């Protein structure tokens, strides 16, 4: 009986986080209305500073900076501050040349590898803007991205607002389509959380806006600083929302090994954040704790649920035929996942890539957890190789 209870807890955890919760939120969002946009006189618009860290981003840094300044937001209200984390390619030279073209571009070179969170902490201390846009070097803005972020934040009287990241042209090989499917699912779920709860579970670090006074000091050796900031703002009882109109673009990764390393870093940050904000689950269970548990924590626990289902299912086979049939189906799914992960670069893999991607993602979560347990010694990063030309 006890084994059966744990079996259905594990099964229910996976089904809830990947199926029931997204459907529940989409249903509730049908009865929610978006806040109307507001027309703000130009002279009353807040000042905005874009902030990001860069390491060896010569492939995208020029396009990033140009897209930031080619905005419909008033030029006199907009500035950009970028820190180079001891880049060894031509990133520094490119930015230095652009400084003469864009007077509102502020550039700082860090001579020792510092890590993204450390650079952001230092750059923000030098900013005096009303609002900050946190972003990444490989995220390309449209002319409407910044105006839409500002408008949405002010219309909803929120503390922070995330933008919608879209992948560009999708290659036919590798993990591109799986990543795109997952991103679209996340964007829809965040939009629903924004409409229903005004509690978005984690703004995407590639593009979000926040009131400067709400931005916290990011702890040292921290990954997933975007999620840390999101929960900090929610902890202060400020709204964290999502704008589907503030669109920006990112190249999709096609390299399974590169994406696996990125997801390990994400996993480490997930468990850092869980340890830091675990008390929010019970102290403010609805809607904050409920959304945190449903959208994030159960996903982070899914690799452990998967192991438990395999072990418990095998032990329970003598109890009922259901468990025998479950194990047959489960082993078949795992086999498909292994094949999909091994041959993700092959065009013939087709739909096999999706169970492969699910398995790959949960293996990265598991590995990240054990790295987290050992303790993080360094959070300096390498840019993920993407489908850059």
Give per-residue pLDDT as tens, 209-256: 999 999 999 998 898 999 999 999 999 999 999 999 999 999 866 567
User: Is the residue at 343 inside a domain?
Assistant: no
- At 253 the pLDDT is 64
The domain of 175 spans: 42-255
- Give the CATH number, domain containing residue 248: 3.90.550.10
pTM: 0.92
User: Is the residue at 335 inside a domain?
Assistant: no
- At 114 the pLDDT is 87
- At 34 the pLDDT is 80
How many structural domains are present in the chain? 1
User: Is the residue at 22 inside a domain?
Assistant: no
User: Is the residue at 327 inside a domain?
Assistant: no
Q: How far is CA 280 from CA 273, 277, 292, in A?
A: 11, 6, 9
- At 128 the pLDDT is 96
- At 344 the pLDDT is 66
Task: Give pLDDT < 70 ranges for the chain.
Answer: 169-176, 252-255, 344-349, 381-389
User: Per residue in 124-154, pLDDT tens?
Assistant: 999 999 999 999 999 999 999 999 999 999 9
């Amino acid at each position: 009986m006890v084994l059966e209870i744990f079996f259905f807890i594990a099964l229910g955890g996976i089904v809830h986080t990947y199926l029931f919760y997204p459907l529940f939120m989409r249903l509730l969002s049908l009865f929610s209305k978006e806040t109307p946009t507001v027309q703000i006189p130009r002279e009353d618009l807040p000042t905005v500073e874009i902030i990001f860290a860069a390491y060896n981003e010569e492939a995208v840094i020029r396009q990033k900076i140009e897209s930031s300044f080619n905005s419909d937001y008033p030029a006199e209200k907009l500035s950009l501050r970028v820190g180079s984390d001891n880049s060894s390619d031509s990133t520094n030279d490119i930015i230095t040349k652009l400084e003469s073209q864009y007077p509102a571009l502020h550039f700082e070179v860090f001579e020792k590898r510092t890590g993204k969170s450390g650079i952001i902490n230092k750059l923000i201390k030098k900013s005096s803007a009303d609002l900050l846009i946190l972003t990444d070097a490989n995220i390309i803005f449209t002319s409407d991205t910044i105006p839409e972020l500002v408008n949405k934040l002010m219309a909803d009287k929120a503390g922070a607002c995330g933008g919608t990241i879209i992948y560009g042209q999708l290659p036919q090989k590798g993990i591109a389509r799986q990543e795109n499917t997952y991103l679209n699912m996340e964007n829809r779920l965040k939009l629903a959380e924004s409409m229903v709860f005004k509690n978005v579970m984690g703004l995407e670090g590639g593009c979000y806006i926040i009131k400067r006074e709400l931005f916290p000091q990011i702890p040292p050796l921290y990954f997933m600083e975007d999620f840390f900031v999101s929960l900090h703002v929610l902890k202060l009882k400020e709204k964290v929302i999502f704008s589907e109109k503030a669109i920006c673009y990112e190249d999709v990764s096609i390299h399974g090994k590169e994406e696996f390393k990125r997801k390990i870093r994400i996993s480490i940050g997930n468990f850092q954040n869980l340890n830091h904000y675990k008390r929010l689950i019970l102290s403010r269970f609805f809607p904050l704790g409920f959304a945190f548990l449903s959208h994030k924590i159960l996903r982070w626990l899914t690799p452990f649920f998967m192991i438990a289902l395999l072990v418990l299912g095998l032990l329970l086979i003598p109890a009922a035929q259901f468990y025998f049939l479950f194990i047959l189906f489960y082993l078949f799914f795992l086999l498909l996942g292994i094949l999909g992960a091994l041959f993700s670069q092959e065009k013939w893999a087709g739909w096999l890539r999706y169970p492969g991607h699910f398995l790959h993602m949960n293996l990265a979560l598991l590995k990240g957890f054990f790295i987290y347990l050992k303790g993080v010694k360094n959070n300096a990063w390498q840019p993920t190789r993407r489908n850059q030309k």
